[in-house]
A = this chain, B = another copy of it.
């Protein structure tokens, strides 16, 4: 089977790699692979999130992807380092409201059998000495983070090592088992996976309403740097009803994110976005101001109409979707890629992925 994957973000690349592993012939089409939302992403891999508590299908999908991550990374690291660390994620509460969220998170995780340790303010200070005083914390000792830039680079290496093709052009149209590129070239396929994030529904040639609208939700994200690293452990700082991601890398990079902005396809990094992230970081890490300013970047999170991922076949024969992962593309890459590889090899995907069939959209319409 000759499969084309349109879109070289983390979802498209992971799908291509897993499909290649299962013997599928794969071509990835992207004008600039690994440069959009998953390039900006912090790559935090939390055990669960208040946002998905109650959305049971999504929770199951997250837990399945969490379980897959170590083996996904181990297999990928046969090709190149993947930038994965699983040395804990600390949720730290900076106000009373956040503290009560931790209570809730703790019982939620316990109900799922996810290891979780409640920390006193003193224990938080010991674990993360650079933090301002907290009211307490919740540590997920088995959780962690991945550097999406390293991960994407490893996926590209693996794809090429397994004989996959990457065409650095824009896909304009999909019709008659052919993808037409921006230079007029035609790439034939048996099956196509559309994984172009919030640009997926802009691909032409398909019947109207075949692809739901994927709304862009802009996130700006900051990268600072210090040697040695200022933070010892990946963290979420909870205060004022919001959470700030703080993802330290071993090389001294500290990723701080993110904003949520509804501005269409605007990917501009702004003075306000930068200032907002710097101010929020300074509230929870008093010494952060002395760190080197390394980068401000922006990505567009792809949000489907119900804000849930679209993974699987569409109503159009041989046209599949792998998009709409919103905040969770990096987190859900392993389960999405495995489910897509199953669809592409006519085997049954993991049960957790089944509710995310794009065909649910047709049902709703």
Q: A272-303, CB under 8 A of B: which get 1 and which 0?
A: 11110011011000001111110010000000
When the two chains form the complex, which single residue of B270, B271, B274, B289 contacts A272, counting CB atoms closer than 8 Å?
Answer: B289
Contact B291 A282 (CB under 8 A): no
Check A292–B270 contact: CB distance below 8 A: yes
Q: Is A224 an interface residue (CB 8 A)?
A: yes
Say yes or no: A281 contacts B290, CB within 8 Å.
no
Q: Does A268 contact B (CB under 8 A)?
A: yes
Asked if A269 CB lies within 8 Å of chain B CBs, one says yes
Residue of B nearest to A292 (CB): B268
**CA–CA, A272 to B272, complex, Å?**
15
User: In the docked arrangement, what's the CA distance between A269 and B292, Å?
Assistant: 5
Q: Which residues of B contact A271 (CB under 8 A)?
A: 224, 278, 281-282, 288-293
With a cutoff of 8 Å between Cβ atoms, the chain B residues found around residue A268 in the complex are: 292
Contact residues in B for A289 (Cβ distance below 8 Å): 270-272, 275
**A269-B293, A272-B282 given. 6 additional CB < 8 A pairs?**
A224-B271, A271-B292, A274-B278, A274-B293, A275-B275, A275-B278
List the 8 closest pairs (A to B, CB-CB), nearest first: A272-B289, A275-B278, A269-B293, A268-B292, A271-B289, A274-B293, A271-B291, A293-B296
Q: Which residues of A contact B (CB under 8 A)?
A: 224, 268-275, 278-279, 281-282, 288-293, 296
Q: List 20 A-B contacts (CB under 8 A).
A: A268-B292, A269-B292, A269-B293, A270-B289, A270-B290, A270-B291, A270-B292, A270-B293, A271-B278, A271-B288, A271-B289, A271-B290, A271-B292, A272-B282, A272-B289, A272-B290, A274-B274, A275-B279, A275-B282, A275-B289
